[in-house]
């Protein structure tokens, strides 16, 4: 037993060392104006995938040492690989949604500053100084690129690539087109703000109309596991082969697979793009 514990500790130390090395290699300071920023303030944690796999394998090894149960080891390995990625995706999408909700207010602030006689850069600086986070952080990074000598159009492209939202892509394209055509930029921003706000209101209505379908998908995915738990509590002897035989493990994994497929299909149907 002590030998296995030593292996587990060594694996944990190796995982921490690998994370430190990968964090140093993939840090944001490695981005250059030639390659452009990768994801900047919303970039992936350096070495996140490698560290996740190492931690999952180590945890599965510990579970095997403690329980010697193949199904528990597999579930531990799969869960620790999938769940951190889902958490990261949720936090990433939440940040992007917050930035999207701040785009109309950003456009109104910039349009008001330009209507008062300020230049485009001065208006963007005022938004980056007085606007809400996190959008002001992204604008501040774009302005830093401009101060370092990068063209404004290229900095706008970098901003759209970092945020990766349709609203920010529309903003970057509108500013570039207005600068090239010489139109009234403040009026264009006000119209774009109204268009973005109307689009977001439509998306909220669609989310409200499809809420029932999403809840049905969640109920469909959770119901088999609830029934499995209820049957196990009612008759543990009859349900024992599900957890202590190869055929039971195969059935359990097959059920998990088809539940995941059904959930993704329903979610795809409910995901209506405007």
Whether pLDDT at 123 is above 70:
yes
What is the predicted pLDDT for the residue at 48?
Answer: 63
Whether pLDDT at 159 is above 60:
yes
Q: Is the dihedral of CA 91, 13, 62, 53 positive or negative?
A: positive
SS3 66: helix
Give the mean model confidence (pLDDT) for residues 192-204. Answer: 87
Number of domains into which the chain is organized: 2
The verdict on 183 and 247 lying in the same domain is no
The verdict on 130 and 204 lying in the same domain is yes
The verdict on 217 and 199 lying in the same domain is no
What is the predicted pLDDT for the residue at 29?
Answer: 37
Q: Exposure string (b/e) for 233-272, b if CB count within 10 Å is 16 or more?
A: eeeeeebeebeeeeeebeebeeeeeebeeebeebeeebee
Highest mean pLDDT among 8-17, 35-44, 108-117: 108-117
Indicate whether 24 belongs to any domain: no
Tokens of 96: 């992007």
Indicate whether 131 belongs to any domain: yes
The verdict on 105 and 146 lying in the same domain is yes
Taking each helix axis from N to C end, the angle separating 70-115 and 246-270, rounded to the nearest 10 degrees, works out to 20
Lowest mean pLDDT among 50-64, 103-117, 156-170: 50-64
Indicate whether 33 belongs to any domain: no
Lowest mean pLDDT among 19-28, 40-49, 145-154: 19-28
What is the predicted pLDDT for the residue at 274?
Answer: 66
| Phi, psi dihedrals of residue 136, rounded to the nearest 5° | -70, -30
Q: Write the pLDDT tens digit of every residue in 40-74.
A: 333 444 456 777 777 778 887 887 887 777 777 87
Whether pLDDT at 181 is above 70:
yes
What is the predicted pLDDT for the residue at 42?
Answer: 37
Listed residues 208, 224, 242: the one ending a domain: 208
Give the separation between CA 250 and CA 242, rounded to whole angstroms. 9
Indicate whether 31 belongs to any domain: no
Indicate whether 188 belongs to any domain: yes
DSSP state of 131: S
- How far is residue 48 CA from its own chain's centroid? 13
Listed residues 162, 188, 208: the one ending a domain: 208
The verdict on 270 and 185 lying in the same domain is no
Listed residues 208, 228, 254: the one ending a domain: 208
Q: Which residue has the higher pLDDT, 76 or 5?
A: 76
DSSP state of 245: S
The verdict on 101 and 201 lying in the same domain is yes
Domain of residue 181 covers 97-208
169: domain CATH number?
1.20.81
The verdict on 103 and 197 lying in the same domain is yes
The verdict on 158 and 170 lying in the same domain is yes
Lowest mean pLDDT among 44-58, 131-145, 163-177, 234-248: 44-58
Whether pLDDT at 244 is above 70:
yes
The verdict on 200 and 155 lying in the same domain is yes
The verdict on 241 and 178 lying in the same domain is no
Taking each helix axis from N to C end, the angle separating 70-115 and 48-67, rounded to the nearest 10 degrees, works out to 150
What is the predicted pLDDT for the residue at 89?
Answer: 82
Q: Which residue has the higher pLDDT, 218 or 75?
A: 218
The verdict on 215 and 249 lying in the same domain is yes
Whether pLDDT at 3 is above 70:
no
Whether pLDDT at 241 is above 70:
yes
Share of the chain above pLDDT 90, in %: 1
CA gyration radius, the chain: 25
Indicate whether 102 belongs to any domain: yes
Whether pLDDT at 154 is above 50:
yes
Whether pLDDT at 162 is above 50:
yes
The verdict on 108 and 134 lying in the same domain is yes
Indicate whether 56 belongs to any domain: no
Confidence of residue 25 (pLDDT cuts 50, 70, 90): very low
Indicate whether 243 belongs to any domain: yes
**Summary mean pLDDT of the chain:** 77
């Amino acid at each position: 037993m002590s030998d296995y514990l030593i292996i587990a500790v060594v694996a944990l130390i190796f995982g921490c060392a690998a994370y430190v090395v990968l964090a140093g290699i993939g840090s944001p300071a490695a981005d250059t104006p030639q390659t452009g920023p990768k994801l900047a303030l919303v970039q992936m944690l350096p070495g996140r995938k490698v560290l996740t796999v190492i931690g999952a394998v180590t945890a599965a090894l510990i579970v095997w040492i403690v329980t010697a149960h193949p199904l528990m080891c597999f579930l531990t390995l799969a869960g620790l690989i999938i769940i951190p990625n889902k958490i990261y995706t949720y936090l990433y999408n939440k940040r992007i949604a917050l930035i999207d909700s701040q785009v109309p207010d950003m456009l109104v602030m910039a349009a008001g500053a330009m209507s008062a006689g300020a230049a485009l850069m001065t208006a963007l600086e005022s938004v980056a100084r007085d606007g809400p986070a996190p959008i002001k952080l992204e604008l501040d990074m774009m302005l830093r690129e401009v101060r370092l000598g990068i063209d404004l159009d290229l900095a706008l492209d970098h901003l759209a690539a970092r945020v990766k939202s349709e609203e920010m892509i529309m903003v970057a394209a509108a500013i570039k087109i207005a600068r090239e055509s010489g139109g009234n930029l403040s009026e264009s921003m006000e119209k774009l703000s109204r268009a973005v706000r109307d689009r977001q209101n439509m998306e909220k209505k669609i989310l409200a109309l499809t809420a029932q379908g999403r809840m049905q998908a969640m109920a469909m995915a959770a119901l088999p596991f609830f029934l499995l738990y209820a049957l196990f509590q009612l008759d543990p002897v009859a349900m024992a082969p599900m957890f202590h035989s190869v055929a039971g493990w195969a059935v359990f994994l097959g059920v998990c697979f088809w539940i995941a497929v059904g959930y993704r299909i329903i979610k795809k149907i409910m995901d209506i793009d405007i």
